[in-house]
Structure 1
Amino acid sequence: MNHPLIVALDFSNKNEVFQFIDQFQDERLFVKVGMELFYQEGPQIIQEIKDKEHQIFLDLKLHDIPNTVYSAMKGLAKLGCDLVNVHAAGGKDMMMAALEGLEAGTKAGEVRPSCIAVTQLTSTSEQQMRSEQLIEATLQESVLHYSLIAQEAGIDGVVCSSHEVKILHHHLGKEFLTVTPGIRLNSDLVQDQKRVATPDEAREAGVSAIVVGRGITKAEDPYASYQAYKQAWEGVRI
């Protein structure tokens, strides 16, 4: 990935999706299709978005026994997405099975989708992690631990907040992908996210890719908001 700004298509149906996408005319987007949209519209929505030449992060966060995840990834690989993910909490064997499924399902001559692992959700605070997950480590230690296991399994990177990126790159190298949601402009509401950052802060931390949802999709002028995020992410001063 070349440091993309990924737009989260948090819509309930394809009509809303294409009303949004059509505002961008010839702009080639990198978009995230999550559970809400995928479960409502099914795999066909992926092909329809691909037909418009946009890149896709299919965000289903697989977490199950290795055999089930292998079979699911083998099927998802046929959709031709650019990026998929699993939960690191599923363990090393599950993550290895995910990669094996992606390899098995990718068409001959094509590159398999990149696969990243969710560490701790950016909506999770350290207090919540300790009281609800019974993890006694610090949140940063938990994210690093999950990331180390993911790298050992061959996973391409992780989903994390921008606050953990520097320590991850220190231990795992800068080629290890760090995909960061919870991105907000200073003018945006934090809403249900806890560990947030601005595009500038994410860039300075060395984040590989940022994910932006409501700050763009719910904006009065989505295209103008997208450009504002993109300029901040790319360090453009106007």
Structure 2
Amino acid sequence: MYPQRQLPYAPTPYSYTPTSALSSTISLDEEVKLFSNNAERDLYESLAEIYSIIMTLEALEKAYLRDSVTETEYTETCNRLLKQYKSNLKNEAVAQAFVDLETFKREWDMECPRATERLRVGIPATDETPSAPRPRQNASGGGPAAPTVASAIETFITTLDAIKLGLREKDMLHPLLVDLIQSVNKVTDVDFDGKPKIVQWLITLNQMRAAEPLTEDQVREFQFDMEQAYYGFKSTLE
């Protein structure tokens, strides 16, 4: 009688010993496809692009904090990434598969706190809070240039007129607020009374669906906050 051959590993109650009776039903030479048609291919490509955008945005935010990129480079790149992110999610099938940012992060085990915050706000950090005062004087050196001030005031009036005319959907109001915060930042770095409300409304609108409207209560609050911000902005010019 031949001695029993020793196994090459220490057996345990849960050990699995392969047998020749089992065989794979999948050819190892066959390419495994993630999709079976063009629609599925486009969906996976869009989700992959969203993943890439989020991770790139995380790296950009870290680089900006380390002063590895200039403000101009950061702002241009951040704006481009935010537009690409929103553009991908305009597709109904992609948005349905994406669900929301937190769900997407959990599904793909993503750790990206800085990108998450930037996507929540919806504008670059340079537009949200200017990092350092910059000289903004008119030709005589006595204050901000008149065209810059006039542009900011015009943007305030346009935003207020929009809500008075009944525009209340995100895709109508959000671009106006982006223009508004950029305009006032060109005039002053002062965190004037009402400015935080502009940023807060940007965040609120950014979390809404494109065609989702503000409620009646939100409309009244929005108008009140914009009027207070307008008066606060004008006080910085006096």
TM normalised by structure 2 equals 0.24
The structure with the greater share of residues assigned to strand is 1
The structure with the greater share of residues assigned to helix is 2
Task: Specify which structure has the bigger relative contact order, considering alpha-carbon pairs within 8 angstroms and separated by 6 or more residues.
Answer: 1
TM normalised by structure 1 equals 0.24
